């Protein structure tokens, strides 16, 4: 069975030294929980850094630590203190973290940080390469390791690689600021599946790929040469039952077994039963919006004096990244704000803010969750925010109100919460009042819906879905490779061809025989055949057993001009006209163009509204070209155009065809399949070959007799029997056909 390995910056254990030996302390974080189920089930290894710098230990000590981790299925990537500084504290937390959370002013562009990021990513990749076997799966995690997928793919194209980003992927306008944006994207595109918490992050990522590299993207698939890469949203869940079950235990625990914290909290309520607790928990990070939360709480106390002495904000902040200057400044700012509020509104037996600057054991977290009336989470940016989910899971009696920032990933799964803009202090102050006054029935109605959703899609489901998408993309690649014409298959096809005495060869033109040319001027939308192509076609037609038919969407004037004097037959405008070798053009169908005056103004208006696009007028069709338009706008307008044309199409027997960056309107009932069969009528061939790249060619593949050899150019899903990746491969194939047979 294939294995699945996990690669993440941190291993799921921390190292504790006790007396003269080392111990491993398992992490309790969301990632560790979700992944444990995965890597054990798939017998994989977990590759990562154990959280300690190698230089602080002797060689023997480090070996001992590696040995302990090895027994737990972990492979260690050793990092020196210097690397921790430049890679983790440097590029990860002073460059990527602020940029991806839209704190552009905090971004440090030091090239030495970048160099270290490349080197350390290579270390992770190298360690992984030591572990993987043929056809294994690898799941790489987060922003610290964005280059690893590319490094792995370069050495081992046979493995299937997934990548999950736990933080937001920013809008292209922000991402482009980074000098190393191309390298990061290339690294990510080494993965076969790229996962994000939300569709918005996925959209931003695809937009950057499109704008920086111009790769073809259909829905959420990116097509790069022979590869298909899938991008998708997988909102990460929590271990719902663990929080829920612990909360039940916490509440039912007898007095003597209760923790000190629990007793403290109960004392708070003893003073007056209508007292309320508001809770916030986060790492002390500028993305979490802690100062604006405090200011909003201050505003709440100022605006609604009746709540003074009745409401306390319990604010838990885990120390984080203390060595980075912005975090030190944030710490000071928070200390000052807490001091100010407590000074202003505190009394002898009332503190408006209880501020804990430390980590807390799991049991205490659950106590806080289950005893707080309101959770107030106000990040200015947050990839997901698992605390919000943990609060919901711990509300066993389904009371409690969630106030959540619209800048978090989790908000997409919490439509029933009170959603706020964290920068709008008075809105947050009003939201606090609304939450405190919300009737119990309404609280239960809202909470129960969110609970159901989170229970269903917990961290195990999340991991399972990611892994099943990873398997699916591996299958898509395999299907593609199964249709791909290998050297062996190519030999067989050529053998059959050489045995045949009469052959019909249908060839699409643009994208099949010649590359799509980026059009530079509207007046020159052409990609005329070059000399090597003429040579290939001449070689084929000079063999009297061959009939070569060029079957194209282009108009008959262009084709006549380009193939003047050539012995190929021509079918133009997807099958409106045909010119058999040595004859004149004849119309294959009763096409009409009386509809054009009606449709042309619509297309014209799209040309005017969409810079870079133009209208091509053929005898029986109108084509709107948007290959030079800004990619996303072009696609958006193409959808709009199809929508606008729908009624007209039905009433006038028209058809809309979508080619490669074109929308074409033409008389219905005409397609390349019908035309090819008209050509074949009353003729006898013992070998039929058809090649084409876009979906207008699918008609050809579908409607030709089943024994025909049909070849799709490119990697998309197709009705054709085989696939060749590129125009060059097509030309080579035809050249060999003409030379040797």
Residues identified as active-site: 508
Q: In terms of CB distance, is 38 or 623 closer to ligand ADQ?
A: 38
Residue 602, exposed/middle/buried by CB under 10 A (0-12, 13-18, 19+)?
middle
Q: In terms of CB distance, is 9 or 385 closer to ligand ADQ?
A: 385
Q: Shortest approach of ligand ADQ to residue 390 CB, angstroms?
A: 5
By CB under 6 A, what part of segment 370-389 binds ligand ADQ?
382-387
Q: In terms of CB distance, is 50 or 383 closer to ligand ADQ?
A: 383
In degrees, rounded to 5, the angle at the alpha carbon of residue 376 between the alpha carbons of residues 370 and 378 is: 145
Return the DSSP state at 476: H
Where residue 248 falls (left for φ over 0; alpha for ψ -120 to 50; beta otherwise) is alpha
Q: In terms of CB distance, is 167 or 548 closer to ligand ADQ?
A: 167
Going from the C-alpha of 323 to that of each of 89, 90, 326, 333, 392, the distances in angstroms are 8, 10, 9, 16, 33
DSSP H or E run through 711? strand 709-713
Angle formed by the axes of helices 631-651 and 199-213, to 10°? Answer: 100
Q: Which residues contact 494 (CB under 8 A, 6 or more apart)?
A: 736, 737, 740, 741
Among 279, 284, 316, 467, binds ligand ADQ (CB under 6 A): 316
Structure tokens at 554: 């282009």
By CB under 6 A, what part of segment 269-298 binds ligand ADQ?
281-283
Q: Shortest approach of ligand ADQ to residue 165 CB, angstroms?
A: 9
Does position 198 interact with ligand ADQ (CB under 6 A)? The reply is no
Kindly provide the residue ranges of all beta strands, DSSP E only, lying in 101-204, ordered along the sequence.
137-141, 160-164, 193-196
Q: Shortest approach of ligand ADQ to residue 386 CB, angstroms?
A: 3
First to last CA, the chain: 44
Tokens 């430390």, residue? Answer: 358
Structure tokens at 428: 């947050």
Q: In terms of CB distance, is 25 or 71 closer to ligand ADQ?
A: 25
Q: In terms of CB distance, is 318 or 519 closer to ligand ADQ?
A: 318
Does position 360 interact with ligand ADQ (CB under 6 A)? The reply is yes
Q: Shortest approach of ligand ADQ to residue 32 CB, angstroms?
A: 10
By CB under 6 A, what part of segment 222-251 binds ligand ADQ?
236
Among 8, 9, 24, 30, binds ligand ADQ (CB under 6 A): 30
Q: In terms of CB distance, is 15 or 387 closer to ligand ADQ?
A: 387
Q: Shortest approach of ligand ADQ to residue 379 CB, angstroms?
A: 8
Rg for the chain (alpha carbons), in Å? Answer: 32
**Residues 230/729, Cβ–Cβ less than 8 Å:** no
Edge-to-edge, what's the strand order for the sheet holding 662-667? 614-617, 621-625, 662-667, 654-658
Q: Shortest approach of ligand ADQ to residue 255 CB, angstroms?
A: 25
By CB under 6 A, what part of segment 430-469 binds ligand ADQ?
none
Among 318, 351, 476, 615, binds ligand ADQ (CB under 6 A): 318
Residue 112, exposed/middle/buried by CB under 10 A (0-12, 13-18, 19+)?
exposed
Q: Shortest approach of ligand ADQ to residue 592 CB, angstroms?
A: 59
Q: In terms of CB distance, is 66 or 200 closer to ligand ADQ?
A: 200
**Rounded to an integer, what distance in angstroms lies between the CA atom of residue 518 and that of residue 382?**
40
Q: In terms of CB distance, is 283 or 652 closer to ligand ADQ?
A: 283
Among 194, 277, 365, 485, binds ligand ADQ (CB under 6 A): 365
By CB under 6 A, what part of segment 389-428 binds ligand ADQ?
390
Q: Shortest approach of ligand ADQ to residue 33 CB, angstroms?
A: 9
Q: Which residues contact 723 (CB under 8 A, 6 or more apart)?
A: 480, 483, 484, 485, 711, 712, 713, 714, 715
Q: Shortest approach of ligand ADQ to residue 319 CB, angstroms?
A: 9
Angle formed by the axes of helices 199-213 and 181-188, to 10°? Answer: 120
Q: Shortest approach of ligand ADQ to residue 160 CB, angstroms?
A: 22
Q: In terms of CB distance, is 30 or 659 closer to ligand ADQ?
A: 30
Q: Which residues contact 65 (CB under 8 A, 6 or more apart)?
A: 15, 22, 50, 52, 57, 76
Among 166, 295, 618, 666, binds ligand ADQ (CB under 6 A): 166
Does position 723 interact with ligand ADQ (CB under 6 A)? The reply is no
DSSP readout, 641-696? HHHHHHHHHHHTTEEEEE-SSEEEEEETT--HHHHHHHHHTT---SEEEEEE-STH
How many chain residues are in contact with ligand ADQ, going by CB under 6 A?
20
DSSP lists the bridge partners of residue 223 as 216, 228
DSSP lists the bridge partners of residue 418 as 403
Please report, as ranges, the residues that interact with ligand ADQ according to CB under 6 A.
Answer: 29-30, 166-167, 236, 281-283, 316, 318, 359-360, 365, 382-387, 390
């Amino acid at each position: 069975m294939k294995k699945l390995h996990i690669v993440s910056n941190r291993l799921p254990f921390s190292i504790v030294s006790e007396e003269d030996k080392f111990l491993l302390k398992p992490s309790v974080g969301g990632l560790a929980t979700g992944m444990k189920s995965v890597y054990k089930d798939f017998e994989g290894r977990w590759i990562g850094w154990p959280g300690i710098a190698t230089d602080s230990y002797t060689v023997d000590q480090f070996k001992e630590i590696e040995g302990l981790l090895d027994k737990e299925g972990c492979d260690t990537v050793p990092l020196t203190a210097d690397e921790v500084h430049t890679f983790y504290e440097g590029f990860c937390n002073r460059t990527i973290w602020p940029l991806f959370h839209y704190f552009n002013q905090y971004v440090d562009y030091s090239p030495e940080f970048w160099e270290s990021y490349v080197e350390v990513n290579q270390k992770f990749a190298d360690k992984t390469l030591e572990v993987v076997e043929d056809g294994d799966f690898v799941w790489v995690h987060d922003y610290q390791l964005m280059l690893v997928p590319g490094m792995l793919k370069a050495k081992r194209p046979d493995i299937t690689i997934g990548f999950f980003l736990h933080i937001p992927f920013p809008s292209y306008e922000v991402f482009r600021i980074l000098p190393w944006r191309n390298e990061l994207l290339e690294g990510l595109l080494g993965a076969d599946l790229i996962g994000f918490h939300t569709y918005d992050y996925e959209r931003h990522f695809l937009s950057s790929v499109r704008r920086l590299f111009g790769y073809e993207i259909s829905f959420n698939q990116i097509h790069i040469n022979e590869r298909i890469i899938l991008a998708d949203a997988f909102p990460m869940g929590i271990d719902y039952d663990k929080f829920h079950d612990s909360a039940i235990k916490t509440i039912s625990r007898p007095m003597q077994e209760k923790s000190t914290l629990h007793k403290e909290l109960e004392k708070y309520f003893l003073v007056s039963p209508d007292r309320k607790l508001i809770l916030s928990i986060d790492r002390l990070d500028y993305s979490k919006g802690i100062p604006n939360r405090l200011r909003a709480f201050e505003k709440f106390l100022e605006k609604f004096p009746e709540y003074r002495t009745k409401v306390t904000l319990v604010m838990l902040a885990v120390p984080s990244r203390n060595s980075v200057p912005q975090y030190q400044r944030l710490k000071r700012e928070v200390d000052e704000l807490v001091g100010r509020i407590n000074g202003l509104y505190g009394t002898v037996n009332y503190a408006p803010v209880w501020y804990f600057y430390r980590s807390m054991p799991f049991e205490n977290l659950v106590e806080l969750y289950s005893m707080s009336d309101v959770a107030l989470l106000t990040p200015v940016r947050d990839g997901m925010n698992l605390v919000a989910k943990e609060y919901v899971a711990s509300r066993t009696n389904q009371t409690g109100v969630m106030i959540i920032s619209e800048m978090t990933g989790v908000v997409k799964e919490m439509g029933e919460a009170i959603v706020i803009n964290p920068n709008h202090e008075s809105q947050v102050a009003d939201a606090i009042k609304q939450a405190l006054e919300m009737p119990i029935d309404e609280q239960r109605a809202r909470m129960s819906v969110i609970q159901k959703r989170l229970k269903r899609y917990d961290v195990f489901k999340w991991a399972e879905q990611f892994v099943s998408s990873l398997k699916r993309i591996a299958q898509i690649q395999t299907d593609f490779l199964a249709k791909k014409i290998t050297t062996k298959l190519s030999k067989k096809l050529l053998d059959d061809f050489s045995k045949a005495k009469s052959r019909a060869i249908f060839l699409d033109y643009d994208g099949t025989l010649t590359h799509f040319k980026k059009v530079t001027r509207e007046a020159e939308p052409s990609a005329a055949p070059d000399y090597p192509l003429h040579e290939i076609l001449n070689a084929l037609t000079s063999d009297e057993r061959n009939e070569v038919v060029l079957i194209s969407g282009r108009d008959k004037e262009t084709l006549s001009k380009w193939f003047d004097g050539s012995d190929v037959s021509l079918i133009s405008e997807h099958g409106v006209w045909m010119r058999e070798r040595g004859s004149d053009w004849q119309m294959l169908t009763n096409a009409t163009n009386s509809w054009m005056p009606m449709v042309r103004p619509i297309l014209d208006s799209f040309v005017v509204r969409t810079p870079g696009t133009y209208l091509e007028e053929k005898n029986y069709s109108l084509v709107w070209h948007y290959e030079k338009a800004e990619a996303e706008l072009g696609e958006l307008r193409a959808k709009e155009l199809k929508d606008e044309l729908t009624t007209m199409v039905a009433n006038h027997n028209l058809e809309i065809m979508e080619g490669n960056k074109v929308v074409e309107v033409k008389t219905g009932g005409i397609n390349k399949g019908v035309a090819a069969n008209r050509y074949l009528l009353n003729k006898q061939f013992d070998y039929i070959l058809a090649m084409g790249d876009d979906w207008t060619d699918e008609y050809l593949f579908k409607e030709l007799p089943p024994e025909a050899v049909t070849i799709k150019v490119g990697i998309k899903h197709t009705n054709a029997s085989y696939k060749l990746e590129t125009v060059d491969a097509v030309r080579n194939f035809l050249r060999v056909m003409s030379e040797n047979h």
